[in-house]
Amino acid sequence: MATTPQSGPERTSAPAPDAVAVDVERVRADIAELAAYCEPDEPGSTRRVFRDAHRSGRVWLAARMAEAGLEVETDGAGNLIGSRKGRGAPGAVVTGSHTDTVRGGGRYDGILGVLGGLEAARALAAAGIGLDHDLQVVDFLGEEPNDWGLSCVGSRGVTGGLTRADLDRTDAQGRTLAQALTDFGRAPETAISGRWPSPHAFVELHIEQGPVLELADRVIGVVTGIVGVHRVLVEFSGRRDHAGTLPMDQRHDAACAAAELILAVESLAQGGGGVGTTGRVEVEPGAMNVVPDRARVWVELRSIDPGWVVERRDAALAAATEAASRRGVGLSVDVLCDEAPTPMDPQVRDAIDAAARAAGIEPLELASGAEHDTRQIARIGRSGMIFVPSLDGRSHCLEEWTDPAHIAAGVRVLAATLVRLDRLPPPTPGAAR
Ligand SMILES: [Zn+2]
């Protein structure tokens, strides 16, 4: 009887990646331990970038990575990386997220992606599954918006997205970002010049931070893309008059024109496809007995569909222009941000989808309405994201919570996805955004 030739004995004899056992209690214990590194004077488990709690939390994390047999280093942009050598294939299979939080943030945002990545690395090792590529688990530096008005410091730094002008930004005390990096033990020069080579593939596990998975009763989300963000400042200029003496039909009230824009944005964004928010409004002079002569409205539109954003923006500005001219009020528009959507790589999406289905989970495709480090990494390599549900869709608050069973499913799908990504052929050069 002829024997079947084996092309890759290590592979064919290795356990099936979808059967990798993850230890969810170990992940929960890690989450609880890291949560103890928090700012004593702030609510919940606050761990803002560069502060003492963030720094000491990272010392703990580095030790945890080393215990798992990972080689630990911090790169030029301040990202903490735990690596396990592969069988020499070029480029690394990378996963990770962030351990910094917003003020009053929760225990899961970002943290699950780092500690879940660590558990995936431990679980693969325990199952005897080695990878062709190096495996890296990353804690990206400073993902949340910081005192310098910048987010994703570390992931921007390694993808060419951090500039000298960013380093010169100052916080409320006049301290530059460059100084903060220096105090954190990173040379600012290397933070902007230390580009990563293109990874073989990248995947980030994250809580959804919204209600879509929960409402659909699904446990795993395959992210289709990160939404585009369009922000404009609309300024209305009317006429300042006495609120007691000027008849209603003779007013040029800037605040009333602004109110029409606010409601137009809400109305235009109905029906799905995207969201519209006017989260900041200023009215001058801000006195009860004065007809306002100036009003500023910050409009934000987000959608995975760039056409949706353009259509709503144009319609909102048309409504504002009509309201202004009817009221005899001037109007100016300043575009503040126009970030295109970031589609996730089809091969990474397929790998997540297949890993979930092999684990008996039917995943749901959804867009990410929030920013993530993955947006930056997608500039240099094929990238994707796995979402798990957030209880009541809550995030950036103390109530942030993800069910242990959903954590287990997320980490298990992450581990199996990493194996599937390892087996992808090399990426086509220049395929990244
Ligand atoms: Zn996050």
Please give the full DSSP string across 364-401, using - where no structure is assigned: EEEEE-S--HHHHHTTTS-EEEEEE--GGG--SSTT--
Name the pairing type of β-strands 201-207 and 383-388.
parallel
How many helices (H) and strands (E) would you count in the chain?
Answer: 14, 15
- For residue 254, give the nearest of 290, 207, 219 by alpha carbon: 290
Q: How far is the CA of 44 from the centre of ligand 1 (A)?
A: 16
Q: How far is the CA of 329 from the centre of ligand 1 (A)?
A: 41
Q: How far is the CA of 138 from the centre of ligand 1 (A)?
A: 13
Q: How far is the CA of 258 from the centre of ligand 1 (A)?
A: 33
Q: How far is the CA of 108 from the centre of ligand 1 (A)?
A: 8
Q: Note the Cα 42 to chain centre separation in Å.
A: 23
Q: How far is the CA of 163 from the centre of ligand 1 (A)?
A: 22
Q: How far is the CA of 208 from the centre of ligand 1 (A)?
A: 9
Name the pairing type of β-strands 89-98 and 201-207.
parallel
Rounded Cα distance between 273 and 37, Å, is 39
Rounded Cα distance between 156 and 409, Å, is 30
Rounded Cα distance between 364 and 13, Å, is 32
Q: Note the Cα 257 to chain centre separation in Å.
A: 34
Q: How far is the CA of 399 from the centre of ligand 1 (A)?
A: 15
The SS3 of residue 276 is strand
Q: How far is the CA of 229 from the centre of ligand 1 (A)?
A: 17
User: What is the DSSP code (8-state) at residue 299?
Assistant: E
190 contacts: CB under 8 Å, gap ≥ 6 = 76, 77
Q: How far is the CA of 143 from the centre of ligand 1 (A)?
A: 7
Helix (H) or strand (E) holding 202: strand 201-207
Q: How far is the CA of 379 from the centre of ligand 1 (A)?
A: 18
Q: How far is the CA of 97 from the centre of ligand 1 (A)?
A: 7
Q: How far is the CA of 416 from the centre of ligand 1 (A)?
A: 22
pLDDT values of the chain reduced to their tens digit, one per residue, 433 residues: 334 444 433 444 456 677 789 999 999 999 999 999 999 999 989 999 999 999 999 999 999 999 999 999 999 999 999 999 999 999 999 999 999 999 999 999 999 999 999 999 999 999 999 999 999 999 999 999 999 989 999 999 999 999 999 999 999 999 999 999 999 999 999 999 889 999 999 999 999 999 999 999 999 999 999 999 999 999 999 999 999 999 999 999 999 999 999 999 999 999 999 999 999 999 999 999 999 999 999 999 999 999 999 999 999 999 999 999 999 999 999 999 999 999 999 999 999 999 999 999 999 999 999 999 999 999 999 999 999 999 999 999 999 999 999 999 999 999 999 999 999 999 987 655 4
Say whether the peptide bond before residue 285 is cis (omega within 30 degrees of 0). Answer: yes
Q: How far is the CA of 139 from the centre of ligand 1 (A)?
A: 11
Q: How far is the CA of 99 from the centre of ligand 1 (A)?
A: 8
Rounded Cα distance between 303 and 119, Å, is 33
Q: What is the dihedral of CA 180, 183, 187, 188, to 10 degrees?
A: 10
Name residues with Cβ closer than 5 Å to ligand 1, which is an ion: 109-110
Rg, the chain, Cα only: 24
Structural domains of the chain sorted by starting position, each given as residue range(s) with its CATH number in brackets: 14-227+341-422 (3.40.630.10), 228-339 (3.30.70.360)
Q: How far is the CA of 319 from the centre of ligand 1 (A)?
A: 35
